[in-house]
Amino acid sequence: MKLKFDWVDIVIILLVLCVGLVGYNYLNSRKSGGAGAETKKLYFVFETEKNTKGMAEQWAVGTHVVFGTRKVDRGVIVASEVVPFEKEVADTRAGVWHTEEVDGQWCARVRIEFDGFESDNAFSATQEQVMTGLGTIVSGRGVNSEGYVIEVGVVE
């Protein structure tokens, strides 16, 4: 059996190679934060969901963690505190909302430092953006919780 190439086969092969090259360049630019992006030391403050005081105390300084929905971005806890869990309560008479502490419920508030990228309008780790108000998951040795990012910035 003899293989026969014509100009259509060559165009298809070149097209597949071009698509592969564009995809490769796109994926590599996303991993490095884009063309010319420099890695910076960034941080975010994460507050866990409500828990017992003992579980909140497990979030120790020095613990290496992964975070985000894909759990591939890495950081380390550099500060940790246990705070009372607060819930929002409506005051229907005054027409306002306020927060109240919930007895027996605690959460951990941890500062996590990571290597990431800063642009004019966003902070990002290697795979995902990190922004205030973002719900995320943080896991590490002996710790795992959903919660919220309450602050984000560049390490000074």
The pLDDT tens digits for 68-90 are 888 888 999 999 999 999 888 89
pLDDT at position 3: 72
Question: What are the domain boundaries of the chain?
Answer: 40-154
Q: What is the mean pLDDT of the chain?
A: 87
Helix or strand holding residue 53 (H, E): helix 53-56
Q: What is the pLDDT of residues 39-64, one digit of tens each?
A: 899 999 999 999 999 999 999 999 99
Is residue 113 packed enough to be buried (19+ CB in 10 Å), middle (13-18) or exposed (0-12)? Answer: middle
Residues 33/117, Cβ–Cβ less than 8 Å: yes
* Helices (runs of H) and strands (runs of E) counted in the chain: 2, 8
Residues 137 and 145: beta-carbon distance below 8 Å: yes
Mean pLDDT of 99-108: 91
Full-model pTM: 0.71
On the question of pLDDT at 29 being above 90, the answer is no
Q: What is the pLDDT of residue 71?
A: 81
H/E run at residue 31: helix 7-31
Beta-carbon contacts of residue 59 (< 8 Å; ≥ 6 apart): 48, 77, 80, 108, 110, 143
Mean per-residue pLDDT for 95-110?
A: 91
pLDDT reported for residue 17: 87
Task: Look at residue 35 and tell me whether its pLDDT is greater than 70.
Answer: no
